[in-house]
A and B are shown apart, each in its own frame.
Chain A
Amino acid sequence: MIPAFRAATTNTGRALEIVRMVLMFLVFGGMLGYALELYVIGHWLPTFQSQIPFYVTVPGVIFVAWIFFDRTTPWVRIAFIATMLLMIVTGILGAYYHWVWNMEDAGGIDWSFMPAMEEFHGFRPVLAALAYTNMGVTGLACIFRAR
């Protein structure tokens, strides 16, 4: 991102790289912020699933930072794209499992409308998990057509 910004010769090219850098910075800050937030609210539990957001943060932070300085090395691009896809899946799975576990705590899984909606705003926030999906999608958009 930074080398491409410095090499840009047109206003459009510079604006394009600025947009990419701002959004990537938000993803970078988001990864650190969400990991800190999850740790603070006690998300690190003895179960593997509860630790997944922390694990994906490690490659996430590394490759987002790396892409700022080098997005031409093929394996770095592939690793970055794979990490972003992993974040998208993490968010969707997190939302799904938050919902299912809310239902289980309430006495069993029931996908009929009213009980499902009731547990949609249960103890575990369903939509909040999608923050990881948001970061993954943003990361992918930032590298889209980036030469």
Chain B
Amino acid sequence: MIQRLMQAQTDDERTLAFLQNFFLLIAAFGFVFYGVEHWVIDHQVLDHWTALIPGWVSLAGAPLAVAMFFSTRKWLTYTFVGVMALAFLTGLLGALLHLVFNASDLGVSLFSISGFLESMQVPYRPVLAGLAHTHVGAVGLAVGLTVWVKD
């Protein structure tokens, strides 16, 4: 990516390469940031094995995002895009699982409006916070899928 920025010829190429580098940095930072955040809140010591997923995705995503600064070879870019897609899905799954676990703890049904709203309002297992990985994955996908664009 850095090389792409250095070799850009036109104004659009320079701006696109700059944005790709910038958002790659945000994605890399996001993986480190959310990895630390999950570790700080002891997400990995929770009972259910699915609690380990965001940590593993962060561990895979951060070095891949950093590597993309220095190379955009096919195997690396495809792996990066695959992990970003995984991060995107991880966030969706996280939000769903938070919701299901909240409903289970409260003993309510998600198929009733009151049960759904109650399950959304549990502060120690925030439902929408799970979507943070979806956000980082989407940022990474926006970069990874436009890496090889040429005129």
Contacts and interface: CB of A to CB of B under 8 A. Distances in A.
Interface stretch (B71-79, B106-114, B120-128): B120-128
Would you call the interface of chain B mostly helix, strand, loop, or mixed? helix
A144 B15 contact: yes
A89 interface: no
B23 A141 contact: yes
A6 to B, nearest CB: 15
A19 B19 contact: yes
A33 B15 CA distance: 29
A132 B121 CA distance: 21
B126 A37 contact: yes
A: interface residue count bin: 20 to 34
Interface in A25-62: 26, 30, 33-34, 36-37, 40-42
Would you call the interface of chain A mostly helix, strand, loop, or mixed? helix
A30 B10 contact: no
B18 interface: yes
B16 A33 contact: no
Given A10-B12, A12-B150, A144-B18, A37 B128 contact: yes
B138 interface: yes
Given A16-B15, A22-B138, A11 B150 contact: yes
Interface in B93-112: none
A2 interface: no
Interface string B33-76: 10011001100000000000000000000000000000000000
Return the 7 tightest CB-CB contacts between A and B, nearest first: A15-B149, A37-B128, A16-B16, A41-B123, A121-B40, A22-B142, A12-B12
Interface of A: 10-13, 15-16, 18-20, 22-23, 26, 30, 33-34, 36-37, 40-42, 120-121, 125, 127-128, 130-131, 134, 137-138, 141-142, 144-145
Given A37-B129, A130-B33, A141-B22, 12 more contacts: A11-B150, A12-B149, A16-B16, A19-B23, A19-B143, A125-B41, A127-B40, A134-B26, A134-B30, A138-B26, A144-B19, A145-B11
